[in-house]
Amino acid sequence: MNINTKKHKKILSIALPSATNSLLDMLQVITDLLMVGTISAFAIAAVGLGLQSLMFVFAVLTLLHIGTTALISRFIGASQLQRASMSLASLLQFAFLLSIPISILWYILAPKLFIWFGTVNEVIILGTEYVTVLTIMLPFIFIKLVFVSAFNSYGDTITPLYIKIFSIILNIGLNYVLIFGHFGVPAFGVLGAGIATVIVNILEFSIYTYLYINKKTPFTPLWYYSKSLIKRALKIGLPASIERSLTFGSFMLFTVIIAHYGTETLAGYQLGLRIEGLAFMPGIGFTIAAMTLMGQGLGAKNPLQAKEDVILVLKYTTSFMFTLGVFMIFTPEPIVRLFTDDAKTIQEASFYLMIVGLSQIPLAFNFVLSGALRGAGDSKKTLKINLLSLCGLFVFFLLLY
């Protein structure tokens, strides 16, 4: 049995740092839940709902992530680094312009979500404080994501990983000080978690900007804007963004329904979602690898190589997510107890994890194959598949009703 060691190393060198980076991203989010979880179930529900409402911003960010990765990886594969640099410069400016109306909408609408969900007054007050302060970080996140996607497209997933390791350590320290009040700083509670998140994201943006301006990246810093390049990125990224919006919209619908069952049940669902998100991280890392390798392979006019790379990525992803699914099915309670000691919340979150643990292998196929299609520039197909799936889901619920 011949094993192409070079190919395995290439895939793992992209996927593993990217998966670890995504895992740390989720851990950074879970850190907030973990630390506010010691305050009350109201705090868990407030932060959990705030993070879930942030998913709609992430849906817009998908446009930038997919568009940047698909466009720049093609130019990298074709050895057109100057065109890749021009694309990055254009996308950075577009990201900033796009962030302005999104930030305004977020500031106005995000606090109202807690009322629309029908949550209790304590959750509304805490959640409104949390999401309002997060508005400050949105422009920095938009630009930062373009940088991260560009690094991934080049095959450099190590640099974003190092930056993320620094930021998560800082986030834990800031949470400790700002949530609970230490070193002469007053205890801000849930608001402190939001302030810490804002500070960390601004610092991450600053590091990427420093590396870019001082020519410490593979890309030449330019002041350049091309409408044609933006249109190419939008053509690929927009269907993916719509697809992600539909998915997040379904999550929101479930949240509205679950909120009527009480704060503990809502908190359990939020914890379950965040823990499930940890299981997604290997899949997301390998999705980025599939997207990058497909784009580079097609850019180099070698579709057979791209296909072989994607199949190997799929094998790795399935193995990782199957293992995680086993833990979710058979040991959910010990995992949930790391975040809360509320008996009802533990029961609800554990039940949720047992169910979603069964879906990990299908999700592995979904992650990798959708990433490959997007890397090939065919994000419309993934949108159609998602629409059919959601239609089937709603028919199922109607039949139950």
Average pLDDT across the chain, whole number: 81
Q: What is the mean pLDDT of the segment spanning 220-246? A: 84
The pLDDT of residue 98: 92
Q: Treating both helix axes as pointing N-terminal to C-terminal, what angle do 5-36 and 190-213 enclose, rounded to 10 degrees?
A: 150
Please check the confidence at residue 382 and state whether its pLDDT lies above 90: no
Rank 36-40, 67-71, 273-277 by mean pLDDT and report only the highest: 67-71
The pLDDT of residue 397: 57
The pLDDT of residue 393: 63
Radius of gyration of the chain (CA): 21
Contact 149, 65 (CB under 8 A): yes
Q: 302 φ, ψ to 5°?
A: -135, 70
74 vs 113, more confident: 74
Please check the confidence at residue 288 and state whether its pLDDT lies above 60: yes
Alpha-carbon separation of residue 106 from 56, 62, 136, 309 (angstroms): 9, 17, 10, 39
Q: What is the mean pLDDT of the segment spanning 220-229? A: 89
Percentage of residues in the chain with pLDDT exceeding 70?
89
Domain extent at residue 306: 5-400
Q: What is the pLDDT of residues 337-356, one digit of tens each?
A: 877 777 777 888 888 888 88
Q: Which of 136, 118, 70, 121 is nearest to 306 (CA)?
A: 70
Alpha-carbon separation of residue 175 from 31, 34, 36, 126, 238 (angstroms): 8, 10, 9, 16, 35
Q: What is the mean pLDDT of the segment spanning 220-233? A: 89
Percentage of residues in the chain with pLDDT exceeding 90?
13
359 vs 86, more confident: 86
Q: Is 300 helix (H, G, I), strand (E, B) or coil?
A: coil
Rank 151-165, 207-221, 233-247, 350-364 by mean pLDDT and report only the highest: 207-221
Report d(CA 267, CA 279) in Å as an integer: 19
The tokens 């975040």 sit on which residue? 339
Report d(CA 397, CA 401) in Å as an integer: 6
The pLDDT of residue 1: 43
Please check the confidence at residue 142 and state whether its pLDDT lies above 90: yes
Domain count, the chain: 1
171 vs 21, more confident: 171
Report d(CA 309, CA 291) in Å as an integer: 10
Instruction: Find how far residue 217's CA is from the centre of its chain.
Output: 23
Q: Which of 173, 347, 356 is nearest to 251 (CA)?
A: 356
Please check the confidence at residue 400 and state whether its pLDDT lies above 70: no
CA 182-187-191 angle, 5° bins: 130
